[in-house]
Structure 1
Amino acid sequence: MQEDLQPLIEHLIELRTRLVRAVALMVVVFLILFHWSGDIYHLLALPMLKAMGEGSQMIATDVTSTFFVPLKVTGMAAFLIALPHTLYQAWAFVAPGLYQHEKKLVLPLIGSSCILFAVGMAFAYFLVFPVVFGFMTAATPQGVAMMTDIDKYLSFVIGMFLAFGVTFETPVVVIVLVRMGLVTVAKLREIRPYVIVAAFVIAAIVTPPDVLSQVMLAVPLWLLYELGVLLSAWLVTPKPVVAE
C-alpha cells in the first residue's frame, strides 16, 4: 500500500514545488513594481483621461480605492509579466507524462496562446479604448460632468481585456478541436455563417452599446476563426480511414 502511495506523494511534492516557484516569481515582480503602482494605474487610465479632455480627472467614491485600485493594477501587471514562467512551470509538471508528439504540439500552443492574449489586450488598449471612451464622452448630455470612479473603471477595463484576450485565442481553440478530432475543417467551413452571427451576438453582449466597438470585437473574432480554419487545414493531417 505504501509503495502505491509513493508515486502520488512524489507528484504532489512536485506540484507544490512548481506552484511555489510560480507564486514566488509573481510576488517578486509585484514587489519590484509596487513603487510605481501609481504610474502603472495612470498608464492604464490614460485612454479614458485623453478622451475626457485636458485637465480632467477621475474620482474615488470609496475611502480605500486610492490605495487598493493601483495595488490591484500592479498585481495584474505582475501576473501578466510572470505568466510565461507560470505556464512553463505547468508545462514542466505535465511534460514527463506526455508522448513526444504531444510535447511538440503543447509547447507551441502555450507560447502562441500567451502571445495572442497579449495581442488581444494591446488591441483593446490602443484601438478599442480610444473609440469606446471617445463615444461615451461625446454621448455625455449637456450639463453633465463625466467623472468616472477608478474602481468601476478598473472593473470595466479588466472585462474588456479578458473579452479581447479570449477572442484572440480563437485560432488556438480551432486548431485544438481539429487536432483532437472533435470537428473537421470541412465542418468548420460549413458552419461559417453561424459563427459570424455568433461573433456579433457575443460582441453585443460583452462590449458597450455603441456599434463601432461591437464591430471591432466581432470582425477580429470572425477573422481569427478563419485564420484558425486555414492553419488547421495546413497543420493537421487528416487521419486515414481504416477499412473494416
Structure 2
Amino acid sequence: MTARDPSAEDQLEEGLFSHLIELRGRLLRAIVVLLVVLLALVPLANHLYAELAKPLVEKMPNGAHLIATEVAAPFVTPLKLAFYVALFISMPMILYQLWAFVSPGLYKHEKRLARPLLVASLVLFYAGCAFAYFVVMPAAFKFLNAVTPDGVAMMTDITHYLDFVTLMFFAFGLCFEVPVAVVILAAIGVVDAEKLSKGRGYAIVGAFAIAAFITPPDLLSMVMLAVPMCLLYELGLLSVRFLLKAPTRE
C-alpha cells in the first residue's frame, strides 16, 4: 500500500482553487458590464418599449392602442425590456469571459473549430431576432389584424406583448442556429456531409414543421421562417465541408 503524496494533493487543491477564483473574477466582470449597460438603458426604457411595439402599433386599426391590465405594468414592463436589451448587448462580453476561462483547456484543433462556431452562433442568433422583428412580426400582425372579428377591439396588454415578442425572438434566434448545430453534429461524428446531403428532404419537412409550430397561425409567417431554415441548412452543409475537411487531430 503506497502512501499518498501530500504535495500532489496540495497542488491539485491549489489548482482547483485558482480556477474557481478565475471563474469568479470573469463572472464578476460579465455582471459588471451587464449592470453598466442596464443602468445606461433604464432612462430609455419607455423609448425602447415604444420601438419594440412599433410592428404591432403600426398594424392596429385607428383608435386601438396597447393597454396595461396590471397596476405596476407601465413601470415594470419597460424595465424588464431594458434588462433583456442589456443582456442582448452584453452577450458578446459574457461569451468572451466564458471563452477566456475555457479556452486554455482546449486542444489546438478544438480552438480552431470552436472560435468560428462561437462567433457564428452569436451572429446567427442576432440575425434571427432581427429577422423576426423586421420581417415576420409586421406580416404576422397584419394578418392578425385582418382576421380580427367585427366588434372585437384589438388592444393587447403590454406585458403579454413583451412576453410574446421575447418568445418570438428566442425561437427565431434558436432556429437560425441550424448551421452551428449541423457543424457540431458533424464534428462529434453523428453525421457527415454525405448523410446531410441525403437527408435534405427530411430537413425541409422538419423546417416547415418547426415553422408551423413556432410562428403565428398564418401561412406567410410559416414560409418566412421555413425557407431561411432550409437555406441555413445548406449553409451548415457547406460549413461542414469547409471546416471539417482537414484532419481534426494535430
- Please give the TM-score of this superposition, normalised by the length of structure 2: 0.92
1:151 aligns with 2:169: no
1:196 counterpart residue number: 204
Supply the distance in 2 between the matched residues of 1:237 and 1:227 (Cα, whole angstroms). 15
Question: 1:238 offset after TM fit, Å?
Answer: 6.3
2:6 counterpart residue number: none
1:117 aligns with 2:125: yes
SS in 2 for 1:57: coil
1:206 counterpart residue number: 214
SS in 2 for 1:52: coil
Over residues 133-192 of structure 1, what are the superposed CA-to-partner deviations in whole Å (9 max), with x where a residue is unaligned?
000001111111100011111111011101111111111111122122221111111111
Over residues 93-134 of structure 1, what are the superposed CA-to-partner deviations in whole Å (9 max), with x where a residue is unaligned?
011111222222212211111111111111110000110000
Q: How many residues align?
A: 240
2:146 counterpart residue number: 138
* 56-65 or 37-46, larger mean C-alpha shift: 56-65
1:219 counterpart residue number: 227
2:76 counterpart residue number: 68
Match of 2:42 among 34, 37, 40: 34
2:104 counterpart residue number: 96
Show structure 1 runs of 5+ residues with no match: none
Question: 1:226 offset after TM fit, Å?
Answer: 1.2
Supply the distance in 1 between the matched residues of 2:29 and 2:61 (Cα, whole angstroms). 44
Question: 1:55 offset after TM fit, Å?
Answer: 4.8
Do the aligned residues in 1 keep the contact of 2:64 with 2:154 (CA within 8 Å)?
no
Higher-Rg structure is 2
Supply the distance in 1 between the matched residues of 2:142 and 2:22 (Cα, whole angstroms). 50
Question: 1:194 offset after TM fit, Å?
Answer: 1.3
Q: CA RMSD in A?
A: 1.5
Dislocated runs of 4+, deviation >3 Å: 53-56
Identical residues among aligned pairs (%): 50
